[in-house]
Amino acid sequence: MEPSRDRVVGALADLLRDAYPDRVLRVAIDGPDAAGKTTLADELAGTLADRGRPVIRASVDGFHQPQATRRRRGPLSPNGYFLDAFDYVALRRFLLDPLSPAGDRRYRTAAFDHLSDSPLDCPVREAAGDAVLIVDGVFLLRDELRGYWDLTVFLQISPAESLRRALRRDVAVFGSPADVRDRYEARYLPGQELYRASVAPQDRADVLIDHERPQAPRVLRWPG
């Protein structure tokens, strides 16, 4: 039997392949930190490309604010994470507006490198008329962005699972397991709670997936 994950990725690719074939299709893969958004987006992009539709991959991580803006409420502030982490003006200007129905399809996939805390001179590319834009990242269903997406996917995981994966993944980034735990418990997990309380992304998403077990995802909502 085909693995459950392969079935879900294949079904998503089928859904996207035939949607809005006469223009760029804009897709958001949202979910908490360490939910598996980037992995799913990459798998979906590869499967969709294999089925004949051109794909543009981008991440909200390419549109961070400068560190001084991200941390102006304090380095562990959950409000700072939810409100200040990303430059949505740049995201719309360089990526979402050009790939909207009235846009010129000349886009950039990133504008800022948060690791070096400096702007990026990312090349301008022109999208194919039938391309699919797949963007992964946190907070993508917030009000400032909601109207840009043709299809939204939300990966649902528990805070405990988010922290467990972060302790396995992010030690090299933050320095130690204790630093990871402090950052998640003080900033990231409460920031996600602010998002859920104010936006309810799990209720807004077109596709809702329980991603607690990535190899056996459970589809909780599907279009139609």
User: Which residue in 23, 139, 98, 118 sits closest to 109, CA to CA?
Assistant: 98
Residues of the chain with pLDDT > 90: what percent? 97
The model's pLDDT over 115-155, given as tens digits with 9 standing for 90+, comes to: 999 999 999 999 999 999 999 999 999 999 999 999 999 99
Q: How confident is the model at residue 224 (pLDDT cuts 50, 70, 90)?
A: confident
Assigned CATH for 4-217: 3.40.50.300
Q: Where are the alpha helices (DSSP H) in 71-170?
A: 78-84, 88-91, 143-146, 159-169
- Which two three-digit tokens encode residue 114? 């948060």
Q: How confident is the model at residue 81 (pLDDT cuts 50, 70, 90)?
A: very high
Distance CA 152, CA 205 (A): 5
Q: What distance lies between CA 183 and its chain's CA centroid?
A: 20
Contact 149, 100 (CB under 8 A): no
pLDDT at 1 exceeding the cut of 50:
no
For residue 211, give the amino acid letter: H
Q: Mean pLDDT score of the chain, rounded to an integer?
A: 96
Question: 187 vs 74, 88, 166, 183, CA distance in Å?
Answer: 10, 20, 13, 6
Q: How confident is the model at residue 3 (pLDDT cuts 50, 70, 90)?
A: low
Distance CA 108, CA 111 (A): 7
Claim: this prediction has a pTM higher than 0.85: yes
The model's pLDDT over 13-38, given as tens digits with 9 standing for 90+, comes to: 999 999 999 999 999 999 999 999 99
pLDDT, mean of residues 83-92: 98
pLDDT at 2 exceeding the cut of 70:
no
pLDDT, mean of residues 167-171: 94
Q: Half-sphere exposure of 41 toward its Cβ, with a 13 Å CA cutoff?
A: 28
pLDDT for the residue numbered 167: 96
pLDDT for the residue numbered 19: 94
pLDDT, mean of residues 195-204: 97
User: Which residue in 176, 194, 215, 159 sits closest to 33, CA to CA?
Assistant: 159
Give me the helix-helix angle, 159-169 and 189-199, nearest 10°: 140
pLDDT, mean of residues 106-120: 96
pLDDT, mean of residues 77-81: 98
